[in-house]
């Protein structure tokens, strides 16, 4: 499609490109990040992708903090270590041993981190009155847009959820009513794996369509 197309029809090739980007998107951890700083124009594109995401009632309840400062990232890496130690003993003995061998973040190895917050609107939001969590889900839509745009620019993103959200908020001086939704590690990579690492390591298997798309009509 070109920008002069009036009715926004995409070609088969466009659709194939999107499919390829979705299939090639990976969660990137510290072992693959390069320290090279991200070009500002590319970061702008990743943020523009976030801001074009769908949101309940067009509430756009997202906020972002870009973090490059090493001392701040070290504080968050420390929170990861504490939470990760707690997590490893929640699994059975065999899984626990495997868990401890996994690399599950790239907070210091990536040159840039992004904290993504939910900024709840005061008062009712169209579409969110019966299901309050819809605001948070809207923020997740923004994260997915960022992840895909980054991949199309050959930039890796890793989502780190093994942190204490209150410690992250304190480290970033985030307002009390904000809620941490995602902590992202962002950077160029030496390579993208062709499969999820957790699949390669037999932690979980890829589900097949027939397992999750239930047949039957109602
Ligand atoms: C909500 C969410 C939280 C995640 N948190 C972590 C995390 O803390 N550490 C980690 O290594 N990966 C994390 N991931 C990445 C998943 O492990 C990864 O998406 C999954 O293994 C599939 O791999 P892929 O993203 O490369 O396809 C998270 C992903 C999502 C969607």
Q: Beginning with the edge strand found earlier in the chain, give each strand of the sheet holding 179-188 in spatial order.
A: 62-67, 112-118, 179-188, 155-160
Nearest CA to ligand 1 atom 18: 27
pLDDT of residue 218: 76
2 has pLDDT over 90: no
Tell me the mean pLDDT in the region 10-28: 98
Confidence of residue 216 (pLDDT cuts 50, 70, 90): confident
Q: Are 151 and 27 in contact (CB under 8 A)?
A: no
**Closest Cα to atom 22, ligand 1: which residue?**
196
Which ligand 1 atom sits nearest the alpha carbon of residue 204? 21
DSSP state of 56: G
Distance CA 116, CA 30 (A): 19
What's the 159 CA to ligand 1 centre distance in angstroms? Answer: 6
Determine whether the shortest distance from the Cβ of 151 to ligand 1 is under 6 A: no
pLDDT, averaged across the chain: 96
Looking at the predicted structure, is the pLDDT value of residue 4 above 60?
A: no
- pLDDT tens-digit readout, 83-104: 999 999 999 999 999 999 999 9
Q: Does the pLDDT of residue 6 top 70, yes or no?
A: no
Q: Is residue 29 lining ligand 1, measured as CB closer than 6 Å?
A: yes
What number does the ligand 1 atom closest to the CA of 80 have?
Answer: 8
For domain 31-203, the CATH superfamily is NADH Oxidase (3.40.109.10)
Helices (H), 112-213: 134-152, 165-171, 197-200, 209-212
CA diameter of the chain: 59
Q: What is the pLDDT of residue 5?
A: 61
pTM equals 0.96
How confident is the model over 29-67, as pLDDT tens digits?
999 999 999 999 999 999 999 999 999 999 999 999 999
Q: Are 180 and 117 in contact, with CB atoms under 8 Å apart?
A: yes
Confidence of residue 3 (pLDDT cuts 50, 70, 90): low
Kindly state the DSSP code that residue 55 receives in the 8-state scheme: -
Tell me the per-residue pLDDT of 148-165, one tens digit each, with 9 for 90 and over. Answer: 999 999 999 999 999 999
Q: Which of 25, 27, 76, 191 to mutate to test the pocket of ligand 1 (most atoms within 8 A of CB)?
A: 27
C-beta of 80 in contact with ligand 1 (< 6 A):
no
């Amino acid at each position: 499609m070109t920008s002069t197309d009036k009715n926004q029809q995409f070609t088969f090739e466009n659709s194939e490109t999107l499919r390829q980007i979705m299939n090639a998107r990976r969660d990137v951890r510290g072992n693959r990040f390069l320290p090279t700083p991200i070009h500002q124009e590319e970061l702008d594109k990743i943020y523009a992708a976030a801001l074009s995401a769908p949101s309940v009632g067009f509430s756009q309840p997202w906020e972002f903090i870009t973090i490059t400062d090493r001392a701040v990232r070290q504080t968050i890496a420390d929170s990861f270590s504490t939470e990760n130690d707690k997590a490893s003993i929640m699994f059975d003995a065999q899984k626990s041993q495997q868990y401890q061998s996994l690399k599950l973040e790239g907070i210091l190895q990536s040159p840039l981190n992004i904290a993504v917050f939910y900024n709840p609107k005061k008062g009712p939001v169209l579409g969110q009155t019966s299901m309050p969590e819809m605001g948070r889900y809207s923020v997740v839509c923004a994260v997915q847009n960022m992840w895909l745009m980054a991949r199309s620019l050959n930039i890796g993103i890793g989502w780190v959820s093994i942190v204490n959200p209150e410690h992250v908020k304190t480290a970033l001086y985030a307002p009390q009513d904000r809620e941490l939704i995602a902590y992202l590690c962002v950077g160029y990579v030496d390579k993208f794996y062709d499969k999820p690492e957790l699949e390669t390591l037999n932690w979980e298997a890829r589900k097949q369509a027939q397992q999750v798309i239930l047949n039957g009509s109602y």
